[in-house]
Structures are given as C-alpha cells and as structure tokens.
C-alpha cells in the first residue's frame, strides 16, 4: 500500500538548509499497523506529512496505493487526502465552537461525491468510538480522551484506507491513552492500514511492527535503536 | 449542494459560533457604512433643499435685458434698445453649454384688449412656448401657447388674472374672442394669480401673452426683443453661464473692450446663492467623510482577517489535511469577509438612517429616507468585503499545511 524509496526532504530557513529525511525506504502492506519511532527532531512528523500528501519529497519515490503523487496538482492531492487518508493529531485540532457531530462531518465538506447519509455516517462513527451520548457536546465540554475519539471518528467518516496518527496520546493521561490505543488496535483488526508516529516505545509496542527513524533514515533492528538511546527495553511485540 | 454552497454554509455556521469575533469585525464596516448612509440621507435632503430654493426663487434663471444699464422705462430713442434679436437667443441656446431652455420676450405697454363692452389697457408679452416652463408659472384655465401656435403665428392670447377678471367677470374666458389692438384673438388660457414682483412695481396679473411670432409680425410689428430668459441646467453654474452669455453677446453685438454693453444680464440674488453653496458643500463634504469612513472600515476588516489567518493557522492546516484545496480555504476566508461586511453593512445602514433622522428632528439637517442609501450601502459594503478580504484570503490559501501542523501548539 505504501512504497517509499530513498525519500529525501530538506528545509530552508534563510541561508541554512536542514536535511531532515536523508533517504527513507519503507514498505507497508495493506492492513498493517506500523509504528514509526524516533526522537523529536528525527523527522517523524515530516515523514508523516509526506505519507499524508501534505508535503512533497525533494527526491525519491512515494507511491500510495500504487499511485505516484509526485506530480499531482494541489486539487488532486486534496481529493486523495479527503478520500483515502484520515489524520489523527496530538493536539486533536477540533473546531472549538463546533459540536462533536459538526466536527466529525467536517471532511464531508470537501467530498465532491456528497453522501446523502452524512449525518448518519457521523453518528455511526461516533458510536464506533463510544461517543453516541456526546454528539452535541463542544470540545471544551469533553475530556482529552473524548476529544481525541471525536478526532478519530472524524478521520473515519470518509472510510479511508489509511490512518495516520501523530503522537495521538501525547496530550492524554495514561488511562485515556490506553483507551485510544485500544481503538487503534480495533481499527487495525478491521483491516485498515495504520501508521502511528511516536517517541514512546511502550506505545509503539501496541503496533504490529515498529520502524525506526534515526537521523533521517530508517534503521534496522533493535540493536541500532538501543545504541541510539531510544529504547530501554528490547522492542518486544508480536 | 455544490462545493461552494457547502463552504458558504460552513462559513455561516462558523461566524455564528464565534459571535464575539464576528461582531467585532462587523463593527468596522458598520461604522463606515453608518457614516455613509447618514451622509447619503443628509446629502439627499440637501439636494432637495437646493431644488426647493432654486424653484422658489428662480435661482436657475438668467434674464438678458436689452439696453445695458439703462432701465426699460427709458425713452425709446436710447441707444441699445433695438439690438437684442431672436438669433441672439438661438445662439445662446446652441452655443452655450448648460442652457436648458431659452425663450425670447417682447413686451410693450399700452395695448388695448376689448371684449364686448369692456376694455382694458395692459402690457402685452410675446414669448416662446418654453417661457411658461422657464418662469415656472402656471395656467388656471385652458392651456399655454404651443409650438403649433408659434409656427402658425396664431392669434391666440393668454390673459393675466386681472385682465381676465376685468373682461370676463363671470369667468369662462377660454375659447372666447377678444380684440387686441383691434385684431380678433382667441383666448387660449388664463394665468393663475401671481401678485406683484418683489419690488412691488410689476403687476404680474395685469398682462396678456401671445406667441412671439404673432407679436413680432402682427401685434408689435418689430423684430427686436426686450428680454431673453434662460433656464440654466445647474443652478450652481449660473455665474459662469452668465459670463459666457455676456461674452457671446458682446461678440455678436460688436461691443469693443472698454465699451459699455448694450444689454444687461441679470443673475439671481446672491443671498439665495449662498444658501445653495452651503447646501452643496455640506453634501460634498459629508460624502467625502463617508467614503473615508468606509475605507477605514475596510482596513479594519482586512487587518482583523489577517490576524485571524495567523491565529487560525492550525484550523487551516487541519482543513487542508482533511481534503480542503487551497482554493477552498481562500474561498472560505473571502466569504467570511463578505458575510461580515454585509452584516456590518446592514447594521450600519440602520444606525446611519436613525442618526440622520435624529439630525433632521433636531433641525440640524434635512433628511429624506428612501431606498437609495440601502442600495448604495449594500453595493459598497459588498465591494469593501471583497476588496479588503482578498489579501487575507490569499494568504490563508497559500499557508503551507505541513508547516502549520508541524508546530507544536500549546
């Protein structure tokens, strides 16, 4: 589903050029739940943005579902994001003065094949994350965990095949974080492809496999990761 | 719903959800439009006042009198009395801009009018068909002389109220025959009562009026005129038009520089002109203030929207992430500007009209409420919303979503 070959990305700030991704090669199959681990500043968010068609790589190849989007127009990228990808952010990014229901239906605004059952779908999505009794609440009337669940419901409304989550539990307490990860596990079980970016090994362990991003490159094996001081314990999952 | 309609609905919902923010933005435009509306209302009132003054005091009329500074009562032999002719009037009409209507006037005293056994001696006037309109007088009975009467040199006569009363005490003068200097004329109409002029010298009701062609060829049998009366299109232009008329006639009559004119151009009284000037200045000034206020309101919207774009960068990034195109974001912010401007406009128009009505009640300015301020306000605030919202909208559309989402917000 996801093919990345020797992807590079740099940022220019004034005269200074920072190379963030120095040749990322990655394969993710349909239905996999993959965690991308790395320290802050390792380029995880950049990688996620490229995966999510929010940013273009400077070099290398990225194919999503077999399509190479490197020469796609902004309109085409936007349409693909709308249909194929669902984002979940650390800061939730909900509209403050909109109800949970309105927040969840937001992606429908940009869907040209406007479904008639938008509100129904939204209610189903909220039910799927356990918030049926909170549809009309505003974000400031919801706990952190509930807000993130609204965000997940929003990410699901267009039935995307890929879910990208950037430190989804970063702003949550431990219990809420566990609940969120449970939801991700369940979604993975339903066959969706999930890529979750985190710096926390215990969170990464909930995924099917972990990919390490060290110094702008994908590193192999737990040995390298430990050497880079990322892991305390061996990465044990399966 | 189309994409645009969905976006518009979403914008509307957002504006409602953020009432305080929306109202704040509306205030800028509301103030500008309010001032504009008040200015328009006051301006319209001033224009009305101008028109009223013009009509009441004949401020848009120029009178050219034959004979220089010499009074009309002076003996016939005085130099200059026989030099004003019909072609002068036509020249004035054709060559001087702003002259809306022109009429020749001949007049002579000592004309006898007889009906059966009654007779009066009165003053006869020979005029063009436009004369009644220029003088803004009216007929009480019958009709005024027409172009056809002019063409035919018809023996038709208009009677002043006193003359009609003397000859036809029981009324019913129209259609009857009277003898004017022994010639039979048909009475075509009777003037309304008009009293005397400001000096008390001229009795306007003691006169008869015939077509100029009739007076020049039949009744008085001479071509030269006593007067030319002119309606000037814009009463504020009377002085310059008067000067143009003077120059034209000097050329036509061969008056050398330094020589005395053989005619006199009388302008309306100065006092009323001053009032005209004041009303006119008030009108122009209030419009200038209003436009400035409206532009200021637009600047407020632009700055508030720019600040909003910065503040809402995460919202923009999020919308892009869930599939909004750059153009969708641009459209969203432009519509926000537009809706805010229209809302502010509505608020402003209402306030402005209330203020203007208040001023009118306090006697500070005359005002008249019509649909005009609403229409102008609607158009101008739409323009303001679009023009001043364009830059922030483009900024929003160009925002790099990856950059905004990369930032770790508090």
Give tens-digit pLDDT for B304-346.
889 889 989 999 999 999 999 999 999 999 999 999 988 888 8
Backbone angles phi, psi at B336, to 5 degrees: -60, -45
C-alpha B258/C-alpha B265 separation (Å) is: 17
**Among B232, B267, B302, which residue terminates a domain?**
B267
State the pLDDT at residue B210: 94
State the pLDDT at residue B409: 44
State the pLDDT at residue A148: 94
Report CA-CA distances (Å) from A218 to A5, A162, A235, B83, B371: 11, 20, 16, 109, 70
Residue of A nearest to B11 (CA): A109
- Strands B99-115 and B177-180, sheet pairing: antiparallel
- Residue B392 tokens read as 């922030």
Quick one: which of B380, B278, B358, B285 has its CA closest to B39?
Answer: B285
State the pLDDT at residue A78: 93
C-alpha B324/C-alpha A81 separation (Å) is: 9
Shared domain check, B247 and B289: no
Match 């001229």 to its residue by tokens. Answer: B202
SS3 category, B28 = helix
For residues B112 and B121, the answer to whether their CB atoms sit within 8 Å is yes
Choose from A41, A54, A55, A164 for mutation: most chain B CBs within 10 A.
Answer: A54
For residues A163 and A86, the answer to whether their CB atoms sit within 8 Å is yes
Q: Give the pLDDT confidence of A92-148 residue by residue, as tens digits.
A: 999 999 999 999 999 999 988 777 778 888 998 999 898 988 889 999 999 999 999
SS3 category, B360 = helix
C-alpha B238/C-alpha B136 separation (Å) is: 17
**Among B252, B267, B282, which residue terminates a domain?**
B267
ipTM exceeding cut-off 0.95 for this assembly: no
Q: Is B248 exposed, middle or buried (0-12, 13-18, 19+ CB in 10 A)?
A: middle
Determine the distance in angstroms separating the CA of B329 from the nearest CA of chain A, rounded to an integer.
11
Contact A97 B17 (CB under 8 A): yes
Determine the distance in angstroms separating the CA of A158 from the nearest CA of chain B, rounded to an integer.
10
**Percentage of the residues of chain B whose pLDDT score is greater than 90:** 44
Sign of CA dihedral A46, A47, A53, A59: positive
B261 vs B70: which has the higher pLDDT: B261
Tell me whether A103 touches chain B (CB under 8 Å): no
- Strands B99-115 and B61-66, sheet pairing: unpaired
Shared domain check, B283 and B212: no
**Among B267, B299, B315, which residue terminates a domain?**
B267
Contact B323 A111 (CB under 8 A): yes
Match 């830059």 to its residue by tokens. Answer: B391
Shared domain check, B105 and B35: no
Q: Where are the domains of chain A?
A: 2-227
**Residues in a beta bridge with B126:** B106, B210
State the pLDDT at residue A202: 87
Q: Which helix (H) or strand (E) holds B63?
A: strand B61-66
- Tell me the average pLDDT of chain A: 86
Q: How many domains does chain B have?
A: 2
Shared domain check, B304 and B257: no
| Extended strands (E) in A32-90 | 33-37, 59-64, 67-68, 85-88
Shared domain check, B283 and B164: no
Percentages helix, strand, coil for chain B (3-state, rounded to 5) are: 55, 15, 25
State the pLDDT at residue A233: 43
Determine the distance in angstroms separating the CA of B294 from the nearest CA of chain A, rounded to an integer.
31
Count helices and strands (H / E) in chain A.
8, 10
Contact A91 B402 (CB under 8 A): no
Shared domain check, B396 and B373: yes
The edge-to-edge listing of strands for the beta sheet with A209-214 is A85-88, A162-166, A193-198, A33-37, A209-214, A217-219
| Domain A2-227: homologous superfamily in CATH | P-loop containing nucleotide triphosphate hydrolases (3.40.50.300)
Q: Which helix (H) or strand (E) holds B394?
A: helix B372-398
C-alpha B112/C-alpha B179 separation (Å) is: 8
Shared domain check, B320 and B209: no
In eight-state DSSP terms, residue B196 is B
Shared domain check, B122 and B209: yes
Shared domain check, B313 and B223: no
Contact A54 B321 (CB under 8 A): yes
Q: Half-sphere exposure of residue B83, counting CA atoms within 13 Å on the CB side?
A: 21
Contact B14 A52 (CB under 8 A): no
State the pLDDT at residue A14: 81
Q: Is B116 exposed, middle or buried (0-12, 13-18, 19+ CB in 10 A)?
A: exposed
Domain encompassing residue B316: 3-53+274-406
Tell me whether A116 touches chain B (CB under 8 Å): no
Torsion-angle region of A225 (φ positive above 0: left; ψ -120 to 50: alpha; else: beta):
alpha
Q: Which residues contact A133 (CB under 8 A, 6 or more apart)?
A: none
Q: Which of A24-33, A182-191, B113-122, B196-205 has the lowest mean pLDDT?
A: B196-205
- Residue A144 tokens read as 């952190």
- Tell me the average pLDDT of chain B: 85
SS3 category, A234 = coil
| Extended strands (E) in A65-185 | 67-68, 85-88, 162-166
State the pLDDT at residue B267: 83
Shared domain check, B67 and B48: no
Residue contacts between A and B (CB atoms, under 8 Å):
82
Q: Give the pLDDT confidence of A18-44 residue by residue, as tens digits.
A: 888 888 888 998 889 999 998 877 788
Contact A49 B6 (CB under 8 A): no
Contact B408 A90 (CB under 8 A): yes
Shared domain check, B292 and B234: no
Q: If pLDDT is split at 50, 70 and 90, which confidence band does B80 have?
A: low
Shared domain check, B400 and B306: yes
State the pLDDT at residue A15: 84
Could you write out the DSSP letters of every residue in B130-145?
THHHHHT--EEEE---
C-alpha B98/C-alpha B278 separation (Å) is: 21
SS3 category, A151 = helix
Backbone angles phi, psi at A43, to 5 degrees: 100, 10
């Amino acid at each position: 589903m996801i093919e990345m070959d020797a992807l590079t990305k740099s940022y220019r700030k004034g005269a200074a050029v920072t190379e963030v991704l120095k040749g990322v090669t990655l394969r993710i199959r349909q239905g996999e739940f993959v965690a991308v681990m790395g320290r802050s500043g390792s380029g995880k968010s950049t990688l996620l943005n490229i995966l999510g068609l929010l940013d273009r790589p400077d070099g290398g190849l990225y194919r999503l579902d077999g399509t190479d989007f490197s020469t796609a127009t902004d309109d085409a990228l936007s349409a693909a994001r709308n249909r194929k990808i669902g984002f979940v952010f650390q800061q939730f990014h909900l509209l403050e003065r909109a109800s949970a229901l309105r927040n969840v239906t937001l992606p429908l605004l940009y869907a040209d094949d406007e479904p008639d059952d938008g509100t129904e779908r939204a209610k189903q999505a909220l039910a799927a994350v356990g918030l049926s009794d909170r549809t009309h609440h505003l974000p400031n009337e919801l706990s952190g965990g509930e807000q993130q669940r609204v965000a997940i419901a929003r990410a699901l409304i267009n039935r995307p095949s890929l879910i990208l989550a950037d430190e989804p539990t970063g702003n949550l307490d431990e219990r809420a974080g566990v609940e969120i990860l449970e939801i991700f596990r369940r979604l993975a079980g339903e066959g969706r492809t999930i890529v979750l970016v985190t710096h926390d090994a215990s969170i990464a362990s909930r995924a099917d496999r972990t990919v390490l991003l060290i110094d702008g490159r994908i590193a192999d094996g737990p040995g390298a990761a430990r050497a880079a001081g990322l892991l305390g314990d061996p990465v044990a999952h399966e | 719903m189309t994409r645009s309609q969905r976006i518009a609905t979403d914008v509307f919902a957002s504006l409602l959800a953020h009432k305080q923010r929306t109202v704040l933005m509306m205030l800028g435009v509301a103030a500008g439009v309010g001032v504009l509306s008040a200015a328009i209302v006051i301006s319209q009132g001033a224009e009305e006042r101008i028109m009223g003054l013009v009509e009441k005091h004949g401020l848009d009329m120029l009178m050219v009198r034959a004979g220089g500074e010499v009074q009309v009562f002076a003996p016939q032999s005085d130099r200059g009395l026989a030099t004003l002719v019909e072609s002068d009037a036509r020249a004035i009409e054709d060559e001087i801009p702003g002259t809306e209507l022109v009429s020749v006037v001949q007049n002579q005293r000592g004309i006898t009018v007889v009906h059966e056994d009654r007779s009066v001696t009165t003053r006869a006037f020979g005029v063009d068909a436009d004369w009644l309109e220029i003088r803004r007088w009216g007929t009480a009975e019958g009709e005024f002389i027409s172009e056809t009467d002019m063409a035919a040199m018809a023996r038709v006569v208009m009677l002043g109220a006193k003359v009609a009363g003397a000859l036809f005490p029981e009324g019913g003068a129209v259609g009857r025959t009277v003898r004017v200097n022994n010639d039979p004329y048909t009475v075509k109409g009777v003037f309304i009562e008009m009293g005397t002029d400001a000096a008390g010298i001229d009795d306007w009701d003691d006169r008869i009026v015939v077509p100029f062609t009739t007076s020049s060829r039949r009744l008085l049998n001479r071509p030269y005129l006593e007067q030319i009366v002119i309606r000037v299109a814009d009463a504020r232009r009377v002085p310059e038009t008067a000067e143009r008329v003077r120059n034209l006639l000097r050329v036509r009559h061969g008056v050398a520089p330094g020589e005395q004119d053989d005619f006199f151009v009388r302008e309306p009284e100065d006092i009323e002109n001053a009032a005209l000037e004041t009303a006119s200045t008030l009108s122009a000034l209030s419009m200038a203030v209003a436009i400035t206020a409206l532009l200021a309101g637009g600047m407020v919207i632009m700055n508030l929207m720019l600040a909003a774009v910065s503040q809402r960068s995460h919202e923009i990034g999020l919308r892009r992430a869930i599939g909004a195109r750059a153009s969708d974001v641009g459209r969203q912010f432009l519509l926000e500007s537009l809706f805010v401007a229209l809302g502010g406009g509505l608020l402003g128009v209402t306030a402005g009209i209330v203020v203007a009505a208040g001023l009118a009640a306090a006697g500070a300015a005359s005002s008249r409420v019509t649909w005009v301020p609403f229409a102008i306000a609607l158009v101008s605030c739409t323009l303001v919303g679009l023009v001043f919202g364009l830059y922030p909208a483009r900024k929003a559309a160009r925002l790099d979503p990856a950059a905004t989402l990369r930032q770790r917000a508090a």
